[in-house]
Amino acid sequence: MTTERMLQPATDVEQVVRRYYRIVSDLSSTEEDLRSVLAPDVVLVEHPNALVPTGVSRDLAQTVEGFARGKALLREQEFTVHEVIADGERAAARATWRGVIGASVGPFREGQELIAHVAAMLTVRDGAIVRHETFDCYEPFTPAAA
């Protein structure tokens, strides 16, 4: 007897992915909002980029912590999702992220705008993201003088 794997309709996966980016983009969203779209065993892989030169892999607690740190650093943030292509439980997303620094901290200065072009692969099971692998290409920016 052959067992077929149950797959979520592509539209459900796309809706979860788009909701996730809306939550992450909204500086008024809460930790609970974020947790509502992430599985308890989620893995977020951020490949090397201008802000994270060695890349990083995060679990749920680390992802929530990074979400809070980002909100504290920024006064504006926006993800523009250009497209989501879903196939079964997997989705590819292409987006542009724009953030404006709220206060001078570390290499950033107040009012500085950062822009990244994002390609991501996400896996959604039971209405929650279980894996998010992101490739963020930042436009050139000048760190604040020390």
- Does the residue 2 lie in any domain? no
Is 5 inside any structural domain?
Answer: no
- What are the tens digits of pLDDT across the range 39-74? 999 999 999 999 999 999 999 999 999 999 999 999
Among all chains, which residue has been given the structure tokens 């995060």? 58
99 within a domain of the structure (yes/no): yes
Band the pLDDT of 10: cuts 50, 70, 90: low
- Identify whether 107 is part of a domain: yes
Q: Give pLDDT, residue 40.
A: 98
Q: What is the per-residue pLDDT for 20?
A: 98
Inside any domain, residue 143: no
Q: Identify the CATH number of the domain in which residue 23 sits.
A: 3.10.450.50
The type of residue at 89 is E
pTM for the complete prediction?
Answer: 0.89
- Mode of pairing for the β-strands spanning 38-46 and 128-138: parallel
pLDDT at 143: 79
Question: CA-CA distance, 125 to 74, in Å (whole number)?
Answer: 31
Overall number of domains in the chain: 1
Structural domain of residue 33, as residue ranges? 10-138
Confidence class for position 124, pLDDT limits 50, 70, 90: very high
Residue-wise DSSP of 2-20: PPPPP---HHHHHHHHHHH
User: What spatial distance separates the first Cα and last Cα of the chain, rounded to whole Å?
Assistant: 67
Give the helix, strand, coil percentages of the chain, each rounded to 5.
25, 45, 30
